[in-house]
Amino acid sequence: MAETTRPDLVLMHPPAVFDFRARPLNHWLLSKAVDTNPVFEYYPVGFIAMLDYLEERGRNVRLANLAVKMQSRRFDPRRFVRDYEPLLFGIDLHWVHHADGALSLAHLCKQEHPEIPVALGGISSTYFWKELIQNPDIDFILRGETTEEPLGQLLDCLEEKKEPAEVPNLIWRRNGEVVENPFTHRPTTLTTRINYERLFKHWRRTRDLNGSLITGQHWPVYCANLLLFCKGCEENCAICGGSNWALGLEETPVWDVDVLADMCVTARKLTKFPLRLPGDIRQGDWRGFLAALKQRSFAGAMHFDIFRPTDREFCEALAEAVPEPQGGIGPVTHDEKLRELYGLPYDNESLERSIEDLIDVGGGADVFFYIGLPGQTKESAKETTDYCLQLLERYATRGRRSKFDAYVCCLAPFIDPGSLAFTYPEKYGYRLRARTVAEHRALMRQPEWWDTLNYESNAMGRFDLAQATLEAEARVTQARADLGLASRRHAKRDLKRLEEEAARLEDSLLAGSGSSEPG
């Protein structure tokens, strides 16, 4: 250990499957829609806000991305945990993909330090708190999407050896009985900082680059580039657990525009690569935010989420504030009726006009389609792929500096717990294969990605869905290589892998390991 000071908090991000190094897992297609690897080594960006908030107030925090560190077989997570004796071990269970990793890591902490409490936090921890608090390895659960202040109060209580009865959002035990503190800390204007300068200081102090990285994928491309415009979302997409409806929010918590603009400029100084700003800025004071960026002479590229079609005014304002604006658009399907069922009621004409406007003002667009949507058949999935290829041919210029790109991915692995489709699966034509943390944990330990899916639909069983996905991935991979958007060497590798998976899937069907029809 390089550190000489005992940390107050050891904040750890586990891999999705804790023993992935010993378990053969073919999960690579689960991460195609997000730029991560199959162990899902992105920790929640809130970790950086927690680090900044607590250390600003004199706390010592050890942040460790175990999902990155464990990709080296020399790293021993048990020894890492054994070397620390903090007031609290904190583990994120933000995405339910990490159920196995989070619970396995909590158990390891208790094996090494039975007397040190373990806390979970994140969206999935909030949704499943009643199940999770029954686990003897879990002492605390901090609910909500913004927990820096409650976490600080909990550390104060632990240091002072007093009951955390006044800590908002907290689930805990008193004499074996579960106590549910009021869920009251839900600020609507966010002023905490996602401060990458603090993260870099942490890296230098601990001499642990891998443990500090927000993701190990493509370092240094993704070293200091992920910020957030908001938490929650006004949209109500069927499968999303991050909507206001799913989170129980009455309004969208958004960052103060000046605080966010300052964070963007600071991050810009630390990386030459494009910043990414999830959360459509039109859910808040987008004019004020873009004006603040322009006032600060922001330079470089920035990726924005665009949930609804744009207008010319918005595109021009983006281009005035950001030299290279890139819009990430998710129309999900070519079928306008299915898109409306999903929760995005707009037509293809509006989509194409938005693409054209973004390109015309000097920006670009990345467009994402999915397989596994409510009501989608194999034929509809094929037609979506046809439409994706048409857009590529129409808008992409040859070469990797094209201002347009498009993808077709599996809607995988899970319909988010708490989402509309998870809560009312029959209404959306789904049959859930998992409802509890334990059931999702078991699915993620399956060796083939199509067996991890927590859903099947009335239109497609998971084997149909897998076949449609493999066919779409192969067609789009070849088209992107032909256009020069991806290297032919990488495309050849991926096409070979897709062909091998299609053969394995066929073997599974012939062996009778599952039916292509939902049960």
Same domain, 292 and 393: yes
Same domain, 129 and 252: no
Report d(CA 28, CA 497) in Å as an integer: 10
User: What's the farthest any 2 CA atoms get from each other in the chain?
Assistant: 66
Q: Provide the number of structural domains found in the chain.
A: 2
Burial class (CB in 10 A: 0-12, 13-18, 19+), 346: middle
For position 515, what pLDDT does the model report?
A: 42
Report d(CA 473, CA 350) in Å as an integer: 26
Same domain, 123 and 14: yes
Same domain, 28 and 86: yes
Query: How do strand 275-277 and strand 140-142 relate by DSSP bridges?
Result: unpaired
Same domain, 44 and 166: yes
List the CATH number of the domain containing 122.
3.40.50.2300
* Residue 303, in any domain of the structure: yes
CB atoms within 10 A of CB 124: 26
* Residue 486, in any domain of the structure: no
Provide the residue range defining the domain that includes 274. Answer: 225-432
| Tens-digit pLDDT string for the chain (519 aa) | 445 568 999 999 999 999 999 999 999 998 877 777 889 999 999 999 999 999 999 999 999 999 999 999 999 999 999 999 999 999 999 999 999 999 999 999 999 999 999 999 999 999 999 999 999 999 999 999 999 999 999 999 999 999 999 999 999 999 999 999 999 999 999 999 999 999 999 999 999 999 999 988 778 888 899 999 999 999 999 999 999 999 999 999 999 999 999 999 999 999 999 999 999 999 999 999 999 999 999 999 999 999 999 999 999 999 999 998 999 999 999 999 999 999 999 999 999 999 999 999 999 999 999 999 999 999 999 999 999 999 999 999 988 889 999 999 998 789 999 999 999 999 999 999 999 999 999 999 999 999 999 999 999 999 999 999 999 999 999 999 999 999 999 999 999 999 999 999 998 888 765 444 433
For position 512, what pLDDT does the model report?
A: 66
Report d(CA 361, CA 320) in Å as an integer: 9
For position 519, what pLDDT does the model report?
A: 32
* Residue 333, in any domain of the structure: yes
List the CATH number of the domain containing 410.
3.20.20.70
Q: SS3 letters for 230-273?
A: ECCCCCCCCCCCCCHHHHCCCCCCEECHHHHHHHHHHHHHHCCC
For position 218, what pLDDT does the model report?
A: 78
Alpha helices in 402-487 (DSSP H): 420-423, 437-444, 462-482
The domain boundary, picked from 180, 206, 238, lies at 180
CB atoms within 10 A of CB 199: 21
Tokens of 236: 């109500």
Burial class (CB in 10 A: 0-12, 13-18, 19+), 190: buried
* Residue 510, in any domain of the structure: no
Contact in structure between 431 and 372 (CB atoms under 8 Å): no
Question: What is the separation, in whole angstroms, between the first and last Cα of the chain?
Answer: 52
CB under 8 Å to 74, separation ≥6 — which residues? none
Tokens of 231: 């938490």
The domain boundary, picked from 432, 449, 476, lies at 432
The count of residues in the chain is: 519
Report d(CA 15, CA 22) in Å as an integer: 13
Same domain, 163 and 237: no
* Residue 214, in any domain of the structure: no
338, 439, 487: which is closest to 128 by C-alpha? 439
Same domain, 105 and 26: yes
Burial class (CB in 10 A: 0-12, 13-18, 19+), 92: buried
* Residue 517, in any domain of the structure: no
- Vertex 98: Cα angle to 95 and 102 (nearest 5): 120
Alpha helices in 222-376 (DSSP H): 244-247, 257-270, 286-295, 312-321, 336-342, 348-360
Same domain, 394 and 326: yes
Tokens of 261: 């603009």
The domain boundary, picked from 180, 211, 241, lies at 180
For position 38, what pLDDT does the model report?
A: 86
* Residue 511, in any domain of the structure: no
Same domain, 285 and 151: no
For position 4, what pLDDT does the model report?
A: 52
Kindly state the helix (H) or strand (E) to which residue 211 belongs, with its residue range. helix 209-212
Same domain, 324 and 428: yes
Same domain, 395 and 274: yes
CB under 8 Å to 290, separation ≥6 — which residues? 281, 317, 318, 320, 321, 322
Same domain, 367 and 238: yes
* Residue 266, in any domain of the structure: yes
- Region of residue 343 (phi > 0: left; psi between -120 and 50: alpha; otherwise: beta): left
